[in-house]
Amino acid sequence: MSKTVLTLLLVLLTSCISGQNSSTTSKFNFDLERSAASAALPDGWFIWGSDFKLTVDTVVKHSGRQSVRIEPSGTYKPGTFGCLATSFPAVYKGSQIELRAWMKLENVSEGPAGLLLRIDGQSGILQFDNMQNKNIRGTADWVLYSVKLPNHPAAVRINIGGMLSGKGKLWVDDFEVLVDGVPLEKAEKVPEKIFGADADHAGGHRGA
């Protein structure tokens, strides 16, 4: 094989690998796969709630290398919850926001588990659903759950997460956000919708 042909093949292979990586790796880290060596949680994710511990689990996962496990940090205290959360600016066109994620439950009782979707405006919460009315409890293998909310015109921040508000254990993995059925990475943005620094960080300072 000539050096010219070999070089062309290597270039093509590199292009294919780069294309695969760019199509499967999301800047939002919704699959929870990216984690800094010293970080307790996947990149871009944080904890809401109190008296619960969140742990990266490399044994129990829906896909990839890891998921996140949520459980009480000690004796369960009624009225408390633990939530793996992340947030991003609400700069997307469309009438509906949908959150999907896979959840696995083990002996969940005295408080349900669910996905959290919250849309914030400049002065507070505009739309909110944490699936508490679904009363998801017990033990179950991986199931894909979904929650939807209208996309509010005054929205500045979208917050998503998976939460446990009772005893037992909850694993969450492979989140996905869609705007009118289109994955967030491909959803059309509103160019003129620009927020200040305060709005960009609002999601990390309010509880669920």
How many other C-beta atoms can be found within 10 angstroms of the C-beta atom of residue 128? 13
Give first-to-last CA distance, the chain, whole Å.
Answer: 62
Spatial distance between the Cα atoms of 99 and 84, rounded to a whole number of angstroms: 14
> CA dihedral in degrees (89, 92, 96, 101; nearest 10)?
-60
pLDDT of residue 4: 39
pLDDT of residue 195: 52
Please give the model's pTM, rounded to 2 decimal places.
Answer: 0.81
3-state secondary structure of 133: helix
> CA dihedral in degrees (69, 70, 74, 77; nearest 10)?
-170
Q: What is the mean pLDDT, run by run of 10 residues, along the chain of 208 residues?
A: 37 35 62 92 96 97 97 94 97 97 97 97 96 96 98 96 97 98 95 55 46
pLDDT of residue 16: 35
Contact, 54 vs 68, CB < 8 A?
Answer: yes
Residues contacting 90, CB < 8 A, separation 6+? 119, 120, 151, 152, 155, 156, 157, 158, 193
Residues contacting 117, CB < 8 A, separation 6+? 97, 99, 127, 128, 129, 130, 147, 148, 149, 158, 159, 160
* CB half-sphere exposure, 192, CA atoms < 13 A: 2
Closest listed residue to residue 144, CA positions, set 100, 208, 197, 196: 100
DSSP state of 186: G
Q: Would you give the distance in Å from CA 25 to the centre of its chain? A: 14
pLDDT of residue 66: 97
pLDDT of residue 26: 62
